Chain A
Amino acid sequence: MSEFLQQLLNGLSLGAIYALIALGYTMVYGVLRFINFAHADVFMVGAFIGYYMGKLVPENTIWGGLVVLLVAMIGCALLGMLIERLAYRPLRGAATLNVLITAIGVSLLLQYSGQVFFGATPRTFPAVFPSVNFALGNLVISSNQVVVIVVTALLMVGLQLIVYRTRIGTAMRAVSLNPKAAQLVGINNDIVISFTFGLGSALAAAGGILYALNYPSIDPLMGVMPGLKAFVAAVLGGIGNIPGAALGGLLLGIVETFVNGSQWSTYKDAIAFAILIIILLFRPAGLLGKVSAEKV
């Protein structure tokens, strides 16, 4: 039983990170109907901003950790908006395939620029948050897991408030539902899309910091695998659906952790993706997605 709870806890904290990244994929898909492959590399940049910021603040303090988190989120929000402005906005109205290929291009650009500027050698991420282990019966809880779960929960509540309670959030949903009608009520779609990229990228940065806290070796290609998993999580939950992305992320994290702790641990990625395939066979639009005909 305690073994089960322990794995569940580990899975939740891994899944929370996937969920944070998946939200960015799903929000951008919601407003622009394409997969922003560069998103995983914004996650990586977030971790590197955290690495450099971590040297400027005292280690092992909560406020130091929060400052690092905040700076990385702001930095990546700006980066995300810049990418949208320079790479995707000129392609507004172009075929989706062109935008997809551009996204892959931006992704490679970030990865290899990262190798030029940060170097290809993995670096050790500083312990920006205090790191202790608590024992709860037979359960071992690390403070990093608490940080991951608390920060993710707060960010998701914040996101929920923005999307459902604010004017710009309602505008985001309006653009996602019908971009033409959104323009006709006076919404400037470019601003809403830019905001969406900023928001998604900030969440990716938070994901990057939290990931690096738990797996403290970072390098410019570190975004590839978590990015792919988060993309899977977004599709699993129903791409374009915000609660779906959160659910998909948590589910994937838990499954992966359980498989990892079993005798089939070698095949953890294969099993995670097999589950995706099986779920999509039965629910092609994802767990919370609605089946809808592609618009022509």
Chain B
Amino acid sequence: MVFPSLPLSVSICVHLWLKMLSVKNLEVCYGAISALRDISFSIETGRIVTLIGANGAGKTTTLRAISGLLRAKRGSITFKGEDITKLPPHLIVARGLCHVPEGRMVFSNLTVDENLAMGAYLRRDKAKIAETREYVFSVFPRLKERLTQAAGTLSGGEQQMLAIGRALMGEPQLLMLDEPSLGIAPKLISTIFEKIVEINQSHGITILLVEQNANLALEISHHAYVLETGVVAMQGPSPELRNDPELKAAYLGA
């Protein structure tokens, strides 16, 4: 994005401010095997950005490195202008970056209520927490009906709602979603994706979405990066990528 009418320094500042997250030359290894070789991408504030690609391309690894679960061997991760590459996960959450992990990972023996309370673990202001809770219930009314139920007894789709709700309780500015469609009844998938768009539009929460279902991801996102064996193979605005013949053949099954 360029702002020709502004002085260069201001333009750079605005530019930095608009960048919610930027990842530069990220390399991550599992032992001797490098899962990410050289990943660079950035996310503008207020957007839905998606990472798509085949199994093992490094999508989940990228998210885990951003949220601090995995250590980067090389490269940098900048969130709201601050280098978070070496921060532990709980300090990254504290800065407003929440990660809904693959497989949902709800606390199965805890009630829905307790799961949501854990989502707000780092927040102290009870009134504001209650406000966020109401917002979560407005997005996922189902959770309110299930408050006293153990999370493990929910259906896959409900657990996904809870996992997203739990992350929203942390008041994120950037929400990272890993495979929200995985293991969910087809009927619920479209509901979940509608809700993702709603969260983005009504609350202005920036979203980084990792998804195997490339069609769906390209449909709701503004910008997409295609990962292939640990590198960014292709990128562009999602509507353009949807019509890209090469991508269509490889990922969209058309």
Give chain B residues whose Cβ lies under 8 Å from the Cβ of A189. 90
Q: Which of B4-12, B106-114, B201-209 binds A?
A: B106-114
Asked whether A186 lies within 8 Å of B93 as measured between CB atoms, the reply is yes
B84-121 interface (Cβ within 8 A of A): 88-90, 93-94, 98-99, 101, 105-110, 114, 117-119, 121
Given contacts A184-B67, A185-B170, contact A174 B118 (CB under 8 A): yes
How far apart are B115's CB and chain A's nearest CB, in angstroms?
8
- Which residue of the partner chain, among B94, B106, B122, contacts A181 with CB atoms under 8 Å? B106
Chain B residue with the shortest CB-CB distance to A183: B89
Give bound CA distance, A178 to B36, whole Å: 25
Q: Which of A17-25, A141-149, A165-173 binds B?
A: A165-173
Given contacts A177-B107, A181-B106, A188-B90, contact A170 B117 (CB under 8 A): yes
Asked whether B69 lies within 8 Å of A184 as measured between CB atoms, the reply is yes
Chain A residue with the shortest CB-CB distance to B116: A185
How far apart are A178's CB and chain B's nearest CB, in angstroms?
5
A16-70 interface (Cβ within 8 A of B): none
Given contacts A174-B110, A174-B118, A177-B107, contact A184 B101 (CB under 8 A): yes
Is A187 among interface residues, defined by CB-CB distance under 8 A? Answer: yes
Is A180 among interface residues, defined by CB-CB distance under 8 A? Answer: yes
Is B166 among interface residues, defined by CB-CB distance under 8 A? Answer: yes
Interface size class of A (residues with CB under 8 A): 10 to 19
- Which residue of the partner chain, among B105, B166, B167, contacts A180 with CB atoms under 8 Å? B105
Give bound CA distance, A173 to B121, whole Å: 13
B112-164 interface (Cβ within 8 A of A): 114, 117-119, 121-122
Give bound CA distance, A183 to B108, whole Å: 16
Asked whether B121 lies within 8 Å of A171 as measured between CB atoms, the reply is yes
Give bound CA distance, A203 to B166, whole Å: 33
B157-182 interface (Cβ within 8 A of A): 166-167, 169-170
Give chain B residues whose Cβ lies under 8 Å from the Cβ of A167. 121
Asked whether A184 lies within 8 Å of B110 as measured between CB atoms, the reply is no
The 8 tightest CB contacts between A and B, nearest first, are A186-B93, A181-B105, A183-B89, A186-B122, A188-B90, A177-B107, A186-B90, A186-B121
Residues of A in contact with B (beta carbons under 8 Å apart): 167, 170-171, 173-174, 177-178, 180-189
List 12 interface pairs A-B (beta carbons < 8 Å), by A numbering.
A170-B114, A173-B109, A174-B118, A177-B108, A180-B105, A184-B93, A184-B167, A185-B93, A185-B119, A185-B121, A185-B166, A188-B90
